[in-house]
Structure 1
Amino acid sequence: MYFIAVGLIGVTSSCSKFLEESTQSEVVPRSAESLNEYMMGDAYPNDFALHPEEPFLNDDIQMIAYKQNELMYPAYTWQPDMPEKIGGLVTVSSWRSCYAAIQACNTTLDYLPKMTGEQRFKDYVGGQAYLLRAFYYFNLVNLYGMPYNDPQTDPNKNLAVPLLISGGVESDYKSRNTVAEVYAQIETDLKEGIRLIEGSGQVYSKYRMGSEAGHLLASRIYLYMDKWNEVIQHTENLMAGAYKLMDLRNWGEVKPLEKPVISINNPETIWAFGTVGDVIVADSLVYRMSSELMSSYEDGDLRKGIYWSNGITRKLSTADIGAAPAQSFRLSEVYLNRAEAFAQLYKQGNVAAGQKCLDLLNALREKRLKEDKYVPWTLQTVGNDLLRHIHEERRREFYSEGGRWFDLRRYGMPKITHLSFSSASQAQKFVLQERDPSYVWPIPLRVIGLNPKIVQNPLAEIRQPQ
């Protein structure tokens, strides 16, 4: 199956491993269990990076040393030809990887009715496919389209990415759907995926995307859409579920190889996935946590030492690179998404929402700070600046977990400055201006070359040091 429709050639589905072809036109289906196994290999983000450039774009890191021919230099300096400069050196493409996984989801949904197996299990398999497809389109629309909540543009007019919702061969060229259309498809997929999995009654591991992960993703989607009541609705049951905030006060000795934060054994992990390709690990001698972020952790914050040390993440195990998950959906995001929604309602005049927001923030902070250093926030101390405190807490909590770039986009696309070493002793300053065109990624030229209906995003000029 070729993705000519979205400007890719050679992206194939390995579903044939589980489907027997009796003739060229007739497909003999096998079991839903086999299709479930196929999804783990082709639909889940377990052997490819979602957006490996993302950590180098945001303001959470800084370059600390010169390295000749540094691979991620085009991303770190926000160059408009980033896809070609990086893609020519590594076999990585967010566009390619996400659409290949979407194709696996579509193939699953197309073949599932023909599969043998109990309907409840088939619903569970289909539910995963819907949720994963929503997850990939969420990533794509936030890489290649304008932020949904941008006050100066219209999501009904802003172009995003083509929507493919069938696993069949697409020989016709597809044009880009709008940001609003992609978000509408995400909402539809989330609702259907959650409905199917919750109705299936299946028990699943944290390596599978279940209904709880669907609700968390939905809360994130609605946060990006400024739909505060929907954020609260989708986090309600998660607050009363089986997941618990990890208590760093009782963490004990820090042993990332034996007890990583990103792990299915973490009591707040809802879904564990991903590879180290989305996390800065290998080039720790070149990039570290930014001094600005480092200084924002207050005295007694236990995340210093447990989450990171010397500016390098300690959240994941690097003992089995490629085997252990590098990202996760965690209960702490539920708290922060919910807190932000209440803060927005408080800003609109709902007084009770302000205290609900603070209760959530303090519950999280209490588990992150030493007992003798923890002082609860009150409306009197932070009430006039709740959103800023939430955004800063979110940044501290999720350092190196891949969401900062998306957050910066929905915060208004602020100005960022990066210092880059041009030699062992010479540093240069590169600036990403407020609302810079590079806040929306350029579509790879190969994609445009293969599909004439795909229009390029507005590009910045080649960025020069200031």
Structure 2
Amino acid sequence: MKNMKNISLVLIVFFACVSCKEYLDVKPKGEVIPKTAEEFGALLNSHLNEIDEGYDEAILGNPMEKFELECFGDNVENSLTRNVTGMGAIPKYVGDRLNSFRMEYRGLYSLIRNCNLVIHEMKESDTDLAKSCYATAYAMRGVAYYNLMRLFCEPYNKEKAEEQLGLSIVTRFDMEARPKRSSLKEVATLIEEDFKKAISYHSKSEIYRYTEDVVKAYLARLYFWTQNWEQAIPVAKEILDAYPLVEGAVYTDMLSARYAQQGNVLLRSYLLTSSSGDVNYNSAKGYLPVKPVSKRFIDLFEEKERDVRYAFSFNAKREALKIPMACVRSAEMCLILAESHAYLNQTKEALDYLNLLRSKRITGYTPYTMGNLPAVDEYALVRINAEGNAFTPLLWAIHCERRKELFMEGDRWFELKRNGCPEFWCAKDGLKYETQQFMYTAPIPSQDIDLIPGMIQNEGYVKL
């Protein structure tokens, strides 16, 4: 690993010299081109180090990045008495960060470039190291496109995906190519193919993080986001069976751990101490009191102290206590199973998985049945489900459980996007600011609009 990190430093310096305008498709030139599997592995390791040390902002994320995502949604509010201004100030609403999403765009396409380099330029193929490199390159390219899709494309509509705008797909090096946006369906298909290719290598290497099980969890996420409920179920079930839910102190210790991956967490950032990672962690922790937890979120905990998440997530002053965390864990798979079965009208199975999660979080819980499900909140911000219809009590119960379970893990913003992109306003500096529907989809960086003929900007954004 030490040799790989040394090689990484050489490669990072080299790639830093590549023109920013051409990060989509530049094939590196010069003498410092990786040749061995070890050198290609080091190229991937430069990205993995960012995750391990807690300063990655685009691939898996970090505590501060997840906290900012929470600031965009409705789990927390802007404080009217405590404020933070100046450099590094937390966003008051998504409009404060729309332009800066270009950094994620650039970072993810840089990752795609490096993954393409491994996939198409590495000649070694039969060694265990080479297979790990291929598996990781396909996995991380799929993750990069998945993250880009959720940020820069409209919510996936299974019936209209072939017409929806996707992304510039770059899978090979071509100095002359200037790819325009494909369809959203084509992007989803590429991501699925990359994940399946990564899985086919059956990687178990913890060094490369994106093991076979981690990629399967991402595949379940993809099917869930693209409304392929039937396909999401077996993949999510396999992961949940392999990583059973934990409860009580094991659960809270798992989510409180620093520099450790515990319990049923398959992947997490910030495993190693670093100055940048420590800054992100401490900043996120320090900013929590500035964004009070919303009363509507607190009111979801009907069992109050009997629910382990109640005291773990916030205190009586409405200050969040759960430190933001970037991870992949099996509780999400349980929620995917519950919701996927619900959309397929398989109510027994949906209730089983919903009750399974509740049984691990609530002492003396009462199992939900179709007869005692809570009523849909007619005053809630979210009114439309992922398929564009009104919530049923079952889907609403699953929706609320997901909100409680994945609090401070960067999920809520994408749940709002997936469920109708509701518009809402907040107070900021004495004025009223509105999160409008188009803001759920970040703008394509103007650099790309200028660089690529025929490149279409997302709706709602105009070049100033």
TM-score (norm 2): 0.77
- Pick one of 104, 121, 127 that aligns with 1:111: 121
Tell me, in whole angstroms, the C-alpha distance in 2 between the residues paired with 1:291 and 1:157: 39
Structure 2 contact 416–422 (Cα < 8 Å) conserved: yes
1:29 aligns with 2:32: no
- Pick one of 373, 376, 379 that aligns with 2:370: 379
Tell me, in whole angstroms, the C-alpha distance in 1 between the residues paired with 2:261 and 2:230: 31
Question: What displacement does 1:438 show?
Answer: 1.3
Structure 1 unaligned residues grouped into runs of 5+: 22-26, 317-325, 347-352
Question: What displacement does 1:396 show?
Answer: 0.9
Question: What displacement does 1:7 show?
Answer: 7.4
- Pick one of 431, 434, 437 that aligns with 1:431: 434
The structure-2 alpha-carbon separation of the partners of 1:261 and 1:358, relative to structure 1 and needing over 3 Å to count, comes to farther
The structure-2 alpha-carbon separation of the partners of 1:224 and 1:11, relative to structure 1 and needing over 3 Å to count, comes to closer
> After superposition, where does 1:193-232 map in structure 2 within 5 Å?
193-196=198-201, 198=202, 202-205=203-206, 208-232=209-233
1:8 aligns with 2:7: no
Matched residue count = 409
Structure 2 contact 268–328 (Cα < 8 Å) conserved: yes
Question: Deviations 1:197-227 (Å, cap 9, x if unpaired)?
Answer: x2xxx53228701111111111111112221
1:446 aligns with 2:447: yes
The structure-2 alpha-carbon separation of the partners of 1:411 and 1:263, relative to structure 1 and needing over 3 Å to count, comes to farther
Tell me, in whole angstroms, the C-alpha distance in 2 between the residues paired with 1:233 and 1:330: 16
Question: What displacement does 1:11 show?
Answer: 8.5
Structure 1 contact 418–429 (Cα < 8 Å) conserved: yes
Tell me, in whole angstroms, the C-alpha distance in 1 between the residues paired with 2:400 and 2:435: 20
Q: Residue 182 of structure 1 aligns to which amino acid in structure 2?
A: V
Tell me, in whole angstroms, the C-alpha distance in 1 between the residues paired with 2:348 and 2:23: 54
Structure 1 contact 306–315 (Cα < 8 Å) conserved: no
Tell me, in whole angstroms, the C-alpha distance in 1 between the residues paired with 2:136 and 2:34: 23
Larger helix percent? 2
The structure-2 alpha-carbon separation of the partners of 1:361 and 1:206, relative to structure 1 and needing over 3 Å to count, comes to farther
- Pick one of 344, 357, 364 that aligns with 2:357: 364
1:344 aligns with 2:350: no
Structure 1 contact 173–453 (Cα < 8 Å) conserved: no
Structure 1 contact 83–443 (Cα < 8 Å) conserved: no
Tell me, in whole angstroms, the C-alpha distance in 2 between the residues paired with 1:118 and 1:150: 39
Structure 1 contact 443–457 (Cα < 8 Å) conserved: yes
Structure 2 contact 338–351 (Cα < 8 Å) conserved: yes
- Pick one of 417, 423, 427 that aligns with 1:409: 417
- Pick one of 166, 169, 181 that aligns with 1:163: 169
Q: Residue 293 of structure 1 aligns to which amino acid in structure 2?
A: F
* Map of 1:244 onto structure 2: 244
The structure-2 alpha-carbon separation of the partners of 1:207 and 1:107, relative to structure 1 and needing over 3 Å to count, comes to closer
Question: What displacement does 1:339 show?
Answer: 0.8
- Pick one of 295, 304, 307 that aligns with 1:301: 307
Other structure's SS at 1:417 match: strand
Question: What displacement does 1:415 show?
Answer: 2.5
- Pick one of 155, 164, 171 that aligns with 1:147: 155
Tell me, in whole angstroms, the C-alpha distance in 2 between the residues paired with 1:262 and 1:28: 34
Question: What displacement does 1:297 show?
Answer: 2.1
Identity over aligned pairs, percent: 22
Question: What displacement does 1:83 show?
Answer: 4.2
> After superposition, where does 1:264-275 map in structure 2 within 5 Å?
264-273=260-269
Q: Residue 333 of structure 1 aligns to which amino acid in structure 2?
A: E
Other structure's SS at 2:165 match: coil
Structure 2 contact 342–395 (Cα < 8 Å) conserved: yes
Question: Deviations 1:47-88 (Å, cap 9, x if unpaired)?
Answer: 321274533322222111333447567x64443x8444x57x
Q: Which moved more, 1:300-309 or 1:131-140?
A: 300-309
The structure-2 alpha-carbon separation of the partners of 1:264 and 1:231, relative to structure 1 and needing over 3 Å to count, comes to farther
The structure-2 alpha-carbon separation of the partners of 1:272 and 1:159, relative to structure 1 and needing over 3 Å to count, comes to same
Question: Deviations 1:298-324 (Å, cap 9, x if unpaired)?
Answer: 3121113334454324346xxxxxxxx
* Map of 1:314 onto structure 2: 322
The structure-2 alpha-carbon separation of the partners of 1:327 and 1:28, relative to structure 1 and needing over 3 Å to count, comes to closer
The structure-2 alpha-carbon separation of the partners of 1:461 and 1:292, relative to structure 1 and needing over 3 Å to count, comes to farther
* Map of 1:322 onto structure 2: none
* Map of 1:335 onto structure 2: 334
Structure 1 contact 102–136 (Cα < 8 Å) conserved: yes
Q: Which moved more, 1:293-302 or 1:117-126?
A: 117-126
Tell me, in whole angstroms, the C-alpha distance in 1 between the residues paired with 2:27 and 2:453: 28
Other structure's SS at 1:458 match: coil
Structure 1 contact 150–412 (Cα < 8 Å) conserved: no
Other structure's SS at 1:177 match: strand
The structure-2 alpha-carbon separation of the partners of 1:72 and 1:170, relative to structure 1 and needing over 3 Å to count, comes to farther
Question: Deviations 1:183-208 (Å, cap 9, x if unpaired)?
Answer: 11111111111112x2xxx5322870
Structure 2 unaligned residues grouped into runs of 5+: 1-13, 271-276, 375-391
Q: Residue 214 of structure 2 aligns to which amino acid in structure 1?
A: A
Question: What displacement does 1:286 show?
Answer: 2.9
Tell me, in whole angstroms, the C-alpha distance in 2 between the residues paired with 1:43 and 1:176: 28
TM-score (norm 1): 0.77
Tell me, in whole angstroms, the C-alpha distance in 1 between the residues paired with 2:208 and 2:188: 25
Other structure's SS at 1:429 match: strand
The structure-2 alpha-carbon separation of the partners of 1:459 and 1:182, relative to structure 1 and needing over 3 Å to count, comes to same
The structure-2 alpha-carbon separation of the partners of 1:29 and 1:413, relative to structure 1 and needing over 3 Å to count, comes to same
Question: Deviations 1:237-282 (Å, cap 9, x if unpaired)?
Answer: 22321x231212556xx779xx725764421111113668699444
Structure 1 contact 206–270 (Cα < 8 Å) conserved: no
Question: Deviations 1:133-178 (Å, cap 9, x if unpaired)?
Answer: 1111111111111111276xx2222222211112x35343221222
Other structure's SS at 1:143 match: helix
> After superposition, where does 1:24-173 map in structure 2 within 5 Å?
29-30=35-36, 32-42=37-47, 46=51, 47-50=55-58, 52=65, 54-64=69-79, 65-69=82-86, 76-79=92-95, 82-84=97-99, 86=100, 93-112=103-122, 114-115=123-124, 118-149=126-157, 154-166=160-172, 168=173, 170-173=175-178
Other structure's SS at 1:329 match: strand
Other structure's SS at 1:418 match: strand
Structure 1 contact 313–400 (Cα < 8 Å) conserved: no
Other structure's SS at 1:164 match: coil
The structure-2 alpha-carbon separation of the partners of 1:124 and 1:13, relative to structure 1 and needing over 3 Å to count, comes to farther
Tell me, in whole angstroms, the C-alpha distance in 2 between the residues paired with 1:107 and 1:452: 25
The structure-2 alpha-carbon separation of the partners of 1:266 and 1:56, relative to structure 1 and needing over 3 Å to count, comes to same
